[in-house]
Amino acid sequence: MQHFLSVKDAIDVQALVKEALLYKKTPYADKHIGKNRTMGLLFFNSSLRTRLSTQRAAQNLGLELIVMNVGQDGWGLEFEDGAIMDGNKAEHIKEAAPVVGQYCDIVGIRSFPTLENREEDYSENVLNQFVKHTGRPIVSLESATRHPLQSLTDLITIEELKTKPRPKVVLSWAPHVKALPQAVPNSFAEWMNAADVDFVITHPEGYELAPEFVGNAKVTHNQEEAFKDADFIYAKNWSSYNDYGKILSQDPSWKITTEKMALTDNAKFMHCLPVRRNVVVDDAVLDSPNSVVIQQAGNRVWAAQVVLKQILLKIIREESPYLF
Q: What per-residue string of b and e applies to 106-138 under the rule 16 or more CB within 10 Å gives b?
A: bbbbbbbbebeebeebbebbbbebbbebbebbb
Total binding residues for ligand CP by CB under 6 A?
Answer: 9
Does 250 help bind ligand AN0 (rule: CB under 6 A)? no
Q: How far is the CB of 44 from ligand AN0 (least distance, A)?
A: 12
Does 113 help bind ligand AN0 (rule: CB under 6 A)? no
- What contacts 127, CB < 8 A, 6 or more positions away? 5, 109, 111, 138, 140, 143, 144
- Convert residues 126-145 into a mask of x (bound to ligand CP by CB under 6 A) and - (unbound): ----------------x---
Which of ligand AN0, ligand CP, none sits in contact with 48, Cβ below 5 to 8 A by type?
ligand CP
Does 272 help bind ligand AN0 (rule: CB under 6 A)? yes
Q: How far is the CB of 167 from ligand AN0 (least distance, A)?
A: 23
Sign of CA dihedral 242, 243, 245, 247: negative
Which of ligand AN0, ligand CP, none sits in contact with 286, Cβ below 5 to 8 A by type?
none
Does 271 help bind ligand CP (rule: CB under 6 A)? no
Where do the H-state alpha helices sit in the chain?
13-25, 49-60, 70-73, 93-103, 118-122, 125-134, 148-161, 183-193, 211-214, 223-227, 258-261, 283-286, 293-298, 300-319
Does 305 help bind ligand CP (rule: CB under 6 A)? no
Sign of CA dihedral 51, 197, 145, 292: negative
Residue 13 to residues 9, 38, 141, 308, 312, Cα–Cα distance (Å)? 9, 26, 18, 15, 18
- What contacts 249, CB < 8 A, 6 or more positions away? 175, 204, 206, 207
Does 273 help bind ligand CP (rule: CB under 6 A)? yes
- Rounded Cα distance between 167 and 163, Å, is 7
Q: How far is the CB of 304 from ligand CP (least distance, A)?
A: 11
Which of ligand AN0, ligand CP, none sits in contact with 183, Cβ below 5 to 8 A by type?
ligand AN0
Scanning 90-98, 204-212, 231-239, 267-275 for contacts with ligand CP by CB under 6 A, the matching segment is 267-275
Three-class SS of residue 279? coil
- Figure out which of the listed residues 259, 274, 278, 288 binds ligand AN0, where binding follows CB under 6 A: 274
- Rounded Cα distance between 238 and 182, Å, is 5
Does 184 help bind ligand AN0 (rule: CB under 6 A)? yes
Nearer to ligand AN0, 126 or 272 (CB): 272
Which of ligand CP, ligand AN0, none sits in contact with 59, Cβ below 5 to 8 A by type?
none
- Figure out which of the listed residues 47, 128, 193, 249 binds ligand CP, where binding follows CB under 6 A: 47
Does 272 help bind ligand CP (rule: CB under 6 A)? yes
Instruction: Give helix 148-161 / helix 13-25 axis angle, nearest 10°.
Output: 70
* 274 cis-preceded (ω within 30 degrees of 0): yes
Does 290 help bind ligand CP (rule: CB under 6 A)? no
- Rounded Cα distance between 139 and 146, Å, is 11
- Convert residues 214-253 into a mask of x (bound to ligand CP by CB under 6 A) and - (unbound): ----------------------------------------
Nearer to ligand AN0, 152 or 183 (CB): 183
Interface positions with ligand AN0 (CB under 6 A) = 180-181, 183-184, 272, 274
**Interface positions with ligand CP (CB under 6 A):** 47-50, 142, 150, 272-274
